[in-house]
């Protein structure tokens, strides 16, 4: 959840768009995203809103600001059920167990959080943080997402990670003892990585038999150290071979690729991320957090101020100045916004979900659907909208059609 690179001088007032045509429809599911902005050290490939922590974290000031941020947002979501909470970063596991307990207690007091809501906490494999996993679970965290990235110490050093393979393995074991649902983030196409090294990383990850794997192709994002000083990366053919091996190996071992980078065992899909991908709603709290909220007559997007100290200060003013962007989506934006997420899902979505979550009739996109079907890039059969195998391979080209 990236923050903004620039801050508008004034926060725009949101009004219902004239002739929006969304109608009175049921609102989509609602999730909560919470951003913890601090890391021990900024990784050279990372373009998230993360800041190196100098000394002790300002936990109390952060929690007070988070409470104020939440209270300001309550009128927008009053009475709606929260199906999932995702605490991301940064490195949320730098927060003490008491801080996470206070945070979740506050959410339960102010929000209609479902008793069985999925509550995920991102964590780094450092030993100090891993020692808190049981306490996090006691506070209500029921899913831990570990940023492993690699089990190869040389690769970890190239990525600027602060943990080694031994700590990674120990953290996975501690996470599995604390919660039933564990995700491992692993990257491939790393600096100097061979196909064999990629295979060994994947084999090591699968050996732990976690329910979920997030397997990402390393990309050089703008405004990162790697973008300024590019490391030697595998060429496209080698990266494609790595990707092909990942799909074959995970399928054979019982994981299903249900999204571009997500692989899960039965019953272990990420509810929170699936809500994003089906164009559900999410309230974003914390520095740099983004949100998308639906109303009966409009859909809005929000973004918070990205600098932690300034965000905390603005929240405590209680005037909403921590929100630096808030705008209603125009009807012509909605098809692309919906498809950008939904077509990431391997099995696609029910066609009726387009109308349910955008308020627009599916006939609004019939010309584009017909054009893509004729090119064998998209399929609309049995009431289900999904890419073909060819469309899945050229997903960016498919999405560009919805920008027209």
Residue 63: helix, strand or coil by DSSP? helix
Q: Helices in 13-83 by DSSP H: which ranges?
A: 59-77
Give the pLDDT band (50/70/90) at residue 26.
confident
Strand intervals (E) in 279-322: 281-285, 290-294, 299-304
Check whether domain 30-277 has CATH 3.20.20.70, yes or no: yes
- Average pLDDT estimate for 158-175: 95
| 404 pLDDT tier (thresholds 50, 70, 90) | confident
Q: d(Cα 387, Cα 305) in Å, to the nearest integer?
A: 36
Q: Has residue 264 got a pLDDT over 60? A: yes
pLDDT at residue 284 in the model: 98
The model's confidence at residue 286, banded by pLDDT at 50, 70 and 90, is very high
Mind listing the pLDDT tens digit for each residue in 47-69?
999 999 888 999 999 999 999 99
Flag whether pLDDT at 9 surpasses 70. Answer: no
pTM of the model: 0.92
Cα separation, 393 vs 116, whole angstroms? 36
CB contact set of 393 (below 8 Å; sequence gap of 6+): none
Q: Domain 332-403: which CATH class?
A: mainly alpha
Taking 50 as the threshold, does the pLDDT of residue 339 lie above it? Answer: yes
Annotated domain spans of the chain: 30-277, 332-403
| Residue 333: pLDDT over 80 | yes
Average pLDDT for residues 249-264, to the nearest whole number? 96
Q: Which of 57-71, 129-143, 228-242 has the lowest mean pLDDT?
A: 129-143
Q: Which uninterrupted H or E stretch holds 250?
A: helix 236-252
């Amino acid at each position: 959840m990236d923050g903004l690179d620039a801050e508008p001088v004034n926060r725009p007032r949101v009004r219902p768009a004239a002739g929006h045509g969304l109608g009175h429809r049921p609102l989509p599911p609602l999730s909560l995203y919470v951003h913890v902005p601090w890391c021990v050290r900024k990784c050279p490939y990372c373009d998230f809103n993360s800041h190196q922590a100098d000394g002790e974290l300002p936990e109390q000031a952060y929690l007070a600001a988070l409470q104020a941020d939440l209270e300001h947002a309550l009128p927008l979501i009053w009475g709606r059920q929260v199906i999932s909470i995702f605490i991301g970063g940064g490195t949320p596991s730098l927060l003490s167990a008491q801080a996470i307990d206070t945070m979740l207690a506050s959410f339960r007091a102010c929000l209609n959080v479902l008793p069985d809501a999925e509550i995920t906490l991102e964590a780094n494999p450092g030993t100090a943080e891993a020692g808190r996993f049981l306490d996090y679970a006691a506070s209500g965290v029921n899913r831990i997402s570990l940023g492993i990235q690699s089990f190869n110490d040389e690769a970890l050093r190239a990525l600027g990670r602060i943990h080694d393979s031994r700590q990674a393995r120990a953290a996975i074991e501690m996470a599995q003892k604390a919660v039933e649902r564990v995700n491992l983030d692993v990257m491939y196409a790393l600096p100097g990585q061979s196909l064999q090294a990629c295979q060994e990383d994947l084999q090591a990850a699968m050996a732990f038999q976690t329910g979920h794997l997030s397997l990402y192709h390393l990309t050089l994002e703008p405004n990162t150290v790697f973008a300024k000083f590019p490391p030697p990366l595998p060429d496209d053919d080698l990266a494609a071979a790595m990707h092909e091996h990942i799909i074959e190996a995970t399928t054979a071992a019982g994981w299903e690729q249900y999204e571009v980078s997500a692989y899960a065992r039965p019953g272990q899909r990420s509810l929170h991320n699936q809500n994003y991908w089906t164009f559900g709603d999410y309230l974003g709290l914390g520095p740099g957090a983004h949100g998308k909220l639906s109303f009966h007559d409009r859909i809005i997007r929000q973004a918070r101020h990205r600098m932690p100290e300034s965000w905390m200060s603005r929240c405590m003013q209680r005037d909403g100045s921590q929100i630096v962007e808030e705008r209603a989506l125009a009807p012509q934006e909605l098809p692309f916004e919906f498809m950008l997420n939904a077509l990431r899902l391997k099995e696609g979505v029910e066609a009726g979900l387009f109308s349910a979550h955008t308020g627009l009739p599916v006939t609004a996109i019939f010309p584009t659907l017909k054009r893509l079907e004729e090119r064998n890039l998209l399929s609309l059969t049995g009431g289900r909208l999904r890419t073909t195998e060819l469309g899945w391979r050229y997903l960016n080209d498919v999405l560009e059609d919805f920008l027209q």
